[in-house]
Structure 1
Amino acid sequence: MTTSLWRNRDFMVLWSGRTLSEVGDAVSLLAIPLLAVTVLDATAVEVGILSATRMVAYLFLSLPAGVWVDRMRKRRVMVVCHLVRAGLVATVAVGAWAGWVTMAHLWIVALLSSVCTVLYETAHQSFLPAVVPGGQLLEANGKLATTYAVSRIAGYSVGGALASALGVARTVGVDALAYLVNAASLLFIRRAEDPPAAAGPRDFRRELAAGLSFVFRHPIMPRLVAASASLNLFSQMIFALAVLYLVRDLRLDEHTVGVVLALTTLGGIGGGLLSARLARLVGSARIIWIAPLGLGWTVLLVPAARPGWGPVAYTVGMAGLGALFAIYNAAAISYRQGVCPPELLGRMTASIRWVIFGVMPVGALAGGLLGSWLGVRPTLWIAAVGVWASGLWLYFSPLRRRRDVPDAASDAAPSPAARERVPVDMAGEATGGGRRG
């Protein structure tokens, strides 16, 4: 009989520490841009660079991170990453308190933190199976995903209140403390981790090429990647300018900014809870393009907002974006898993993450540059239209003729050698002994 996750001590320790660090992350995501805007009087370009450097490691580190982490002790990687991030954030808190913090300092901290984030996330996903039985991984990942959304609400709310009451310098220090506590909590996990596999001869470039080849030779996958990349690109333009827009255009104080950002995350929670039901109702493949086209228009409320009633419009628009991402991601990931051979799943996932996460710093930087050149509000109009139009990549594709994602369990899996050579038809199905929808 499988023990409930609530009685799995190691998972509860891992989950509790992760929750605390997520809350701290949300505090920093609010407090550091507030520091840049309200204390350093940052321009739109400087804020865009700050947001871009926070994600730039996805562009150059996503592909090799998996190979490196597989050759290390996962928990050790996670502890070291948290300790380094705690130290980096602490320098911002001390610098802000002492009066010597600069935008260059914030950029360097964001860049180094992004490296730690990529390594930590890769190690965390690989470490979870060591503390959770295989039959409970779905439940465990569901709890972690819900924690992420709820932590954003708590972090933004607490961050806004602390910034208003204590100032941004002390508020940034809260994140450093959260990282230290999480690093310490990982040491209390009792389950012994399997030692890393011995590094044997392997052709790293050839393995990566196999994943990239599957993605970009598939009839649907390139359009799915293009849609996901477009969503990330244009949404990051909005996120990069969010604090600047709320403070200078909508004229909100620090506490209200925190409350507004917290409320926008409710869309992601609602979308996550409804995603499975909506997929069953309209089709698990059809919902992939319906989500951006059906919900993307709500983002137009963001640039339409004005002082006074603007916070309500902004909240509704960004909550719609959160629901869009939750519903779209659940369906898109299921589609990728349904059509990809099991032995290529890791490489396929790394290849797609390299593209769709790699555009995020580009979007943030583009938002800052366009915000400085055209103005913040016109840039937000461009980004909002781009979010909605992302769904057109899939609407004008063979995916529109499908209702549901292929079921990976509907047929016996072919041999690994045969699966590498399986052709695919124009509906994204494997043929010649592969999968049928």
Structure 2
Amino acid sequence: MAEHGVAAKGGVLRVPDFRRLWLADALSQVGSRIDFLAVPLLAATTLSASVLEVSLLRTFATLPFLLLGLQVGAWCDRMRHRPVLIAADLGRAVLFGSIPVAALFGVLTLGQLFTVVLLAGVLGVFFNVAHQTYVPHLVEPALLPDANARLQTNMSVAAVTGPGIGGVVVQFAGSAGAMAVDALSYLWSALWLRRIRTPDVRQEPAERHLRREIAEGLKAVAGNRILLAITVHGAVSSLFQSMQMAISVVFLSREVGLSPGAIGLLSSTTLTGAILAGFTARRLGERFGGARVLLASTVLYGGSLPLFGLTEPGWGLLWYFAAGFGSGFGIITMNVFCVSFRQAVTPRRLLGRVGSVSQTLIFGVAPVGSLIGGLVAEAAGMRTTLLVAGAGALAASAILLASPLRKHRDLPV
């Protein structure tokens, strides 16, 4: 802990093993943002997929959280986390690397895309649960907000640079070529994770009962009113955000008439709010109080999403920029304080299970939202779907505004 004490004076990046985790996460996040753009474009352009089929890709990618999230949380509390993270990265490198190989030989199909995103989603469940569970083992509790802010900054930088890089790569090398870049990013992550030296201790062997262990995680979330409100809000807002995300790339391509490069550039500029939040969230919490900043960011996030539906060609693209800037700033700020609060109040032996409850609800509703988004878009149009999704996300902010958080300046940890 002496090493952590020094880090507390100089920032969490002074902790060598957290720095390695942070570097592993950095490029991997960029790769993930590239495939978020490239996969639907590959399906919509090269394979002539319908709007519903494109939305189903998002459904398949997030379905494993709904099916396996709770079980993975219990399993991760039994296992060493670093090997899980490395194995998940290597598996995803192989899966996404298979796409450009198939395209090169002219045998790529929608069936392969669905298979890849589904299996990559399974590995993503293991990675995400183990990743958030691993952070408190590398840094002391006082450094958790700084650590999570650094990781959210990675996500923000990736959100800004990933679509731009992806758009350029897709423009000049095709969507399949962008998948090769994504595969390399997972290899980068695995190499840095291998360099972590902190002992990865498995819990003492004990009698295991999967249902009982899952129930412990559910009880821990339900027993804390603030944690419960954060989790429920995350799930409801995720449902509506997934409706928007499932069709946004196709909307910009077919209804607004943008090229892949222009979509990437627009997506990059709109998410500058996310990168700003990564650098300022911790400071805002120190100045105004974590609870107040969390509530304000919830309203900002929900209030920004409806603006996506107002997007038009030309100057009407400013609506998309405003929506992306506001929602990006809001969601990254929310994540910093929500994750830090959950990690601080959860006993270490329950970190995997409590984290998986939250992630299962938040990501588990995503395939439902993606499917609803595709169906509504087919029936009522993509613009109507974006407006409905935005209105739902704004209404969801009432869940946190009505919670015990409204009585606090700082998060009660």
TM value normalised by structure 1:
0.82
Correspondent of 2:124 among 112, 117, 128: 117
* Larger relative contact order (CA 8 Å, sep ≥ 6): 2
Aligned letter for 2:216?
A
Correspondent of 1:228 among 201, 223, 234: 234
Rounded Cα–Cα distance in structure 2 between residues aligned with 1:142 and 1:60: 29
- After TM superposition, the structure 1 = structure 2 runs for residues 1-80 of structure 1, keeping only pairs within 5 Å, are 2=3, 9-80=16-87
- After TM superposition, the structure 1 = structure 2 runs for residues 185-334 of structure 1, keeping only pairs within 5 Å, are 185-187=192-194, 189=195, 191=197, 193-216=199-222, 222-276=228-282, 278-279=284-285, 284-333=290-339
Return closer, same or farther for 1:131/1:191 CA change in 2, 3 Å cut-off: farther
Correspondent of 1:153 among 131, 149, 160: 160
Deviation at 1:227, TM superposition (A): 2.2
Rounded Cα–Cα distance in structure 2 between residues aligned with 1:351 and 1:15: 24
Question: How many residue pairs get matched?
Answer: 406
CA deviation profile, 1:228-281 (whole Å, cap 9, x unmatched): 222111111111111101111111111111111112221222234444455566
Rounded Cα–Cα distance in structure 2 between residues aligned with 1:203 and 1:29: 37
Return closer, same or farther for 1:289/1:152 CA change in 2, 3 Å cut-off: closer
CA deviation profile, 1:2-34 (whole Å, cap 9, x unmatched): 355656554444332322222211111111111
Residue pair 1:73, 1:193 contacting (<8 A) in 2 also? no
Deviation at 1:298, TM superposition (A): 2.6
Q: Which runs of 5+ in 2 are unaligned?
A: none
Residue pair 1:285, 1:399 contacting (<8 A) in 2 also? no
Deviation at 1:303, TM superposition (A): 0.8
CA deviation profile, 1:343-373 (whole Å, cap 9, x unmatched): 7665444323322221112111211111112
- After TM superposition, the structure 1 = structure 2 runs for residues 422-433 of structure 1, keeping only pairs within 5 Å, are none
Aligned letter for 1:374?
A
TM value normalised by structure 2:
0.87
Correspondent of 1:381 among 365, 387, 398: 387
Deviation at 1:290, TM superposition (A): 3.8
Return closer, same or farther for 1:399/1:79 CA change in 2, 3 Å cut-off: closer
Residue pair 2:243, 2:370 contacting (<8 A) in 1 also? yes
Task: For residue 319 of structure 2, give the secondary structure of its aligned residue in structure 1.
Answer: helix
Rounded Cα–Cα distance in structure 2 between residues aligned with 1:133 and 1:334: 12
Residue pair 2:145, 2:336 contacting (<8 A) in 1 also? no
Return closer, same or farther for 1:116/1:294 CA change in 2, 3 Å cut-off: closer
Task: For residue 254 of structure 2, give the secondary structure of its aligned residue in structure 1.
Answer: helix
Other-structure match for 1:399: 404
Other-structure match for 1:417: none
Q: Which runs of 5+ in 1 are unaligned?
A: 409-437
Residue pair 1:302, 1:380 contacting (<8 A) in 2 also? yes
Task: For residue 176 of structure 2, give the secondary structure of its aligned residue in structure 1.
Answer: helix
Aligned letter for 1:360?
A
Other-structure match for 1:81: 88
Return closer, same or farther for 1:338/1:405 CA change in 2, 3 Å cut-off: farther
Residue pair 1:335, 1:405 contacting (<8 A) in 2 also? no
Aligned letter for 1:326?
I
Rounded Cα–Cα distance in structure 1 between residues aligned with 2:196 and 2:405: 49
Rounded Cα–Cα distance in structure 2 between residues aligned with 1:286 and 1:139: 18
Deviation at 1:322, TM superposition (A): 1.2
Deviation at 1:109, TM superposition (A): 0.5
Rounded Cα–Cα distance in structure 1 between residues aligned with 2:405 and 2:17: 44
Task: For residue 108 of structure 2, give the secondary structure of its aligned residue in structure 1.
Answer: coil
Return closer, same or farther for 1:143/1:68 CA change in 2, 3 Å cut-off: same
Question: Which structure dedicates a bigger proportion of its chain to helix?
Answer: 2
Residue pair 1:299, 1:384 contacting (<8 A) in 2 also? yes
When the two chains are superposed, the root-mean-square deviation of aligned CA atoms in Å is 2.9
Deviation at 1:134, TM superposition (A): 6.5
Aligned letter for 1:391?
S
* Corresponding position: 1:106 with 2:113: yes
- After TM superposition, the structure 1 = structure 2 runs for residues 132-151 of structure 1, keeping only pairs within 5 Å, are 136=143, 138-151=145-158
Rounded Cα–Cα distance in structure 1 between residues aligned with 2:142 and 2:53: 47
Correspondent of 2:176 among 165, 169, 190: 169
Residue pair 1:289, 1:392 contacting (<8 A) in 2 also? no
Deviation at 1:141, TM superposition (A): 3.5
Other-structure match for 1:431: none
Aligned letter for 1:40?
L
Percent identical pairs in the alignment equals: 34
Rounded Cα–Cα distance in structure 1 between residues aligned with 2:365 and 2:240: 9
Rounded Cα–Cα distance in structure 2 between residues aligned with 1:192 and 1:287: 33
Correspondent of 2:373 among 357, 367, 370: 367
Deviation at 1:112, TM superposition (A): 0.2
Return closer, same or farther for 1:377/1:93 CA change in 2, 3 Å cut-off: same
Return closer, same or farther for 1:21/1:337 CA change in 2, 3 Å cut-off: closer
Deviation at 1:180, TM superposition (A): 2.4
CA deviation profile, 1:292-348 (whole Å, cap 9, x unmatched): 334533322211111122332212112211122123334445665687778766544
Task: For residue 302 of structure 1, give the secondary structure of its aligned residue in structure 2.
Answer: helix
